[in-house]
Chains A and B, each alone.
Chain A
Amino acid sequence: MSSDSQGKTTGFQLLLAWVFVGVPLAWGLYQTVLKAAPIFN
C-alpha cells in the first residue's frame, strides 16, 4: 500500500474539504433563492 493512503485526517483537512464544496454550493443556493423570490411577491 502506498504512503498516500496512510495519513491521519486532520481537522483542518476536513474543514478545507467541506469549505471547498460548501462555498460554491452555498453561492449557487443563494442565487437560486434570489431567483425564486418573485414567486412570493
Chain B
Amino acid sequence: MFGFLDRERTVAGPGFNRWMIPPAALCIHLCIGQVYALSVFNMPMTKLVGITESVPSDWLLTEIGWMYTLAIVFLGLSAAFFGRWVEEGGPRRAMFTAGMCWSSGFLVSALGVYLHNIWLIYLGYGVLGGIGLGLGYISPVSTLIKWFPDRPGMATGMAIMGFGGGAFLASPLSVWLMEVFRTDTNVGVAGAFVGLGCIYFVFAMVGATIVRVPAEGWKPAGWQPPAIPKKLTTTANVHVNVAWKTPQFWCIWVVLCMNVTAGIGVLGQASVMSQEMFGLTVAAGAGFVGVLSLSNMLGRIFWASLSDVIGRKNTYFCFFIIGIALYALVPQTGALGSVLLFVICSAVILTMYGGGFATVPAYLKDMFGTKYVGAIHGRLLTAWAVAGVLGPVLVNYIRQYQIDVVGIPPAQAYNTTMYIMAGLLVVGLIANSLIKPVDPKYHLAEES
C-alpha cells in the first residue's frame, strides 16, 4: 500500500532537474519552522475558559510552556534515534511520516484544547509534533547534499533557511486563523490548530511527492570532483555508529552547542533586553525581534553558501571571532546609548546563529562523507536540545542574580551575561581549532 514511499520509487530519471529538490525540502521545513512561532498561542491558551481574561481553571503559562520544551526534546530524540531509518528508508518515507506526525500533532492538540485536557496537548504537539519536527528537520538534508555535491552548503542552507522562514509564515497565519475561528465563547485556538494541521499536511505531502534521490553515480553536468580533495573534505564514508565515537563528532557537537547557546541567549530575551537597555516601546521591541528573525533566516543561506567558498572550519572561525567581539561590544552600546549599534550587533550575531545551523550538515559531510550524513546530523542535533536549555537558563538566572543579589539596575544586568556568552564562544573557537580530518581507521571497510 505504501510502496510509493520506497527509496527505489524515488530514484530520479535522467531528465529530472535537481532544482526541484530545494522546494521539496522547503515544503517540509516551512511547516516545522512553526515551532519558532508557537508563542503566539501563549496568551490565548491562558484564556480558553475565561475567554476575555484568565480564570483559575485556565492553564498557566508555565504549563503551556511545556508544549515547546517537549517538542524540542522529542525533536532531539527522534532525530538521534531515527536518523538511520531516515537515511535507509529514503527522503519520501521520512517526509511523509514527518508530515503525518506534525499534522496529527496539531489535530490531537486541537482535541486537547476542545476537551481542555493539557495531557492531550503534550501528547499532540509535544510528542507527536516533536517527532515530526525531528524527522522533518533531517529528512531532506542528505538528499540535498547528494544532489548538490558542488554546493552542499548552499543547498542545505536553502532548506534550513526555510525552517527560519516557517516562523514568518506561521505567526501571521496563526493570528489570522484564530481571528477566523473566534466567537464570543471561543478564543479560536482549536480551530486554528485544525487549520494549521490541514495546511501543513498539504505542504508536507507536496514535498514528499516531488522529492527524488539521484541515481547511483549521478553527478551534475560538467562537474568533476576536485582531483586533490581539500584537506578537511573526505571522499570516504564513516558509519553513523562509528562517527559518534570520533573526536571530530564531539568537537563539532561542542561547536554547534556553543554557537546555538550564545544565539538563543540573545534571541530569547531580545525584546525585554531592548526595552530595559534602551527604553524602547513594546511595539519597537517586537520590531527588534522581527529584525532578529530576518537576520536569523538570511544568515542561514548567506553563511552556508559562503562556506562552500571559504570552507566550513573557516566559516565557524568567523562565527566565533566576530561573535566574541560583538558580544563584548553589546554592553558598550548600552553605555553609549546607541540603539542603532545595538541592533546592528544583535542582527549580525543572529545571522551567525542561523548560519551555524545551516553550515553544520555540510561540515559533517566534509568530515564523515555523504552516506550517513543525515543520520549523523540527527545525532548531532542533541547539541541543539542541550543548548535550548542552557541558553535561556544562563540568561535568565544570571540576569535575576545580578538584579536581586548584586543590586545592578536592570538596564545593566545583561553585561555579565554577554561576557559569559563571549566566553562560551571562546570554548567553541577552541573546539573548532581542534578539528582535524577523521582517521582512516574509522572509514567504512570497503572504502578505506
Contact = CB atoms under 8 A, between A and B. Distances in A.
Interface string A1-41: 11011111100011001101110110111011101111111
B30 interface: yes
B172 A8 contact: no
A8 B291 CA distance: 41
B24 A29 contact: no
A8 B20 contact: no
A6, A27, A29, A39 interface centre (most CB from chain B within 10 Å): A39
B4 A2 contact: yes
B165 A28 contact: yes
A9 B289 CA distance: 40
B348 interface: no
Main secondary structure of the interface of B (DSSP, over half): helix
Given A9-B16, A25-B26, A33 B172 contact: no
B10 to A, nearest CB: 6
Interface residues of B, number: 43
B16 A8 contact: yes
Contacts of B284: 38-39, 41
Interface in B298-324: none
Interface string B149-168: 00000000000001001011
A29 B296 CA distance: 12
A25 B30 contact: yes
B281 interface: yes
B17 A9 contact: yes
Contacts of B162: 21, 25
Contacts of A31: 168, 171-172
B272 interface: no
Given A14-B20, A25-B168, A35 B210 contact: no
Contacts of A28: 165, 167-173
A39 to B, nearest CB: 4
12 contacts: A2-B9, A5-B9, A5-B11, A5-B13, A7-B13, A8-B14, A9-B16, A25-B162, A25-B168, A28-B172, A33-B294, A38-B281
